[in-house]
Structure formats: C-alpha cells, structure tokens
Amino acid sequence: MSLLTVDSLDAGYGELQILYDVDLFVDDAEYVTVVGPNGAGKSTVMKSVFGLTTYMGGSIEYQGVEISGLDPEEIIHEGVGYVPQTDNVFAPLSVRENLEMGAYIRDSVPEAAFEQVYDRFPILRERADQEAGTLSGGQRQMLAMGRALMLDPDLLLLDEPSAGLAPDLVDEMFDRIDRITDAGTAVLMVEQNAKEALRRCDRGYVLVNGRNRYVDSGEALLDDEQVRRDFLGG
C-alpha cells in the first residue's frame, strides 16, 4: 500500500474544474515531483491533497484512509505537512513563534521538536528571536519547511520551493530537500525548475491541461526526447 494514492481525481475551484482523472502515488520515504507548463494544474494537485480545492470526483487515500473531503486541519492530524508557495510564514512573529504555530494542534510543544528542526536548518537556531518578515527569501523558505516539519509528518507537500530564490540558493534548497527525504520523510513537490527537480527525485509526473501526460522515474523523463523538447527546453 502506498503512503499516498490519488486515483482518477477531478478537482478545481468552485464550479471551475482544473484536474481531470489525475493519478499519482507516493510511497514511504519517496521523493516525487510534479512538473508541467504554467496552468497545467500542478499546484491544484498539491492543494487538493491538502483539502484546499473543490473535490469533484475520484479518491485521495493517505495510508489507506480516504481523505478527500477532509479539511486541512484534519489532514494535518493524519500526518501530512504542507508548504505553500506564497504567504508561507507569519511575518510579524519570530522564527521560534512561527515554529510553534507549526505544532498548534499540540497542547504543548516539546523542545525536542524545535531541536530537530534547528538541526536540519541551523540558521533558524541563530535567528530564533528574529521577526520572520526580516529574513531573506531563502531563510523564509527554510522556516516554512521547518514549521511544516514540527509535527514530524510522514509526507511533506512542497509547492514551488525554489520560486523567488536567488540562483545561488536554489541548489542549497534542493540539497536540504534531499536531506529531508534521506531522513525518511516522503516528499511530493511541485517545482518550476523541472530539470533539477527531475534529476533529484525518484519519480516524476508531467501534467498538461489538468491531465497526466507522462509518468516515469526522474532519470527516464530527463532522457525522454519528447519530454525534453516539449517541457524542458530541449
């Protein structure tokens, strides 16, 4: 049984359907990437798994339990973390307060949870008392991921983690995601930097117009001449 199974998913916003019969799965500790042209529905897949879209049909199962129709708080309780592309930190709050918000469903937050995040992102320890809004773009992205990891989820959803980062920070961000998966957390990621995402992931999906177009290992998709020509710039 896969950790996450999306089967024949139809979803959108209000009455506007974006996804049509989308299938994908993520196994334990697996690194899966969704790529495709702008407007393909990539972020809608992510938001649908996290209960942020209008569910129209199909199924979404997490650890064998149907989660389509659940709200985000219920999905967090199931063991899923989510990092949106924008507005992903509370700017007026300190770094530590942001991390506390990541574990808001707990009555109290054990210090070990902070330490685990600080070990993954040492800069957050250094900036623990600093307002999140004053961090650099790369540091804010680390904080957003750290907050989502405060409950030690089995699956982390990442929506365009490299968006807006300076080119010299993109490799560092991908390296940190690699370490998250190496530590046993499965990752489902939507990413604009398709070549680098496919180079690092276990399996990739190419979405076009809200539908599955290709699925294979990241390496195989990079080697596919049609995929390279149509979606990766040759």
List average pLDDT for each run of 10 residues in the chain, which is 234 residues long. Answer: 96 97 97 95 96 97 94 94 91 97 88 94 96 93 95 95 86 92 96 93 97 97 94 78
Residue 167 has what pLDDT? 84
Cα distance between residue 126 and residue 121, in whole Å = 10
Residue 234 has what pLDDT? 63
pTM of the model: 0.94
Which amino acid type is present at position 29? A
Which amino acid type is present at position 71? D
Tokens standing for residue 132: 């999140």
Where would I find the beta strands (DSSP E) of the chain? Answer: 4-13, 16-26, 31-35, 54-62, 65-66, 80-83, 155-159, 186-190, 203-208, 211-217
Report the helix count and the strand count for the chain, using DSSP H and E. 10, 10
* Closest listed residue to residue 26, CA positions, set 176, 174, 153: 153
Fold designation for 4-231: Rossmann fold (3.40.50)
Cα distance between residue 132 and residue 147, in whole Å = 12
Other beta carbons within 10 Å of 199: 15
143 touches 124 (CB < 8 A)? yes
Residue 107 has what pLDDT? 81
Half-sphere exposure of 60 (CA within 13 A, CB side): 25
* Closest listed residue to residue 83, CA positions, set 41, 52, 124, 115: 52
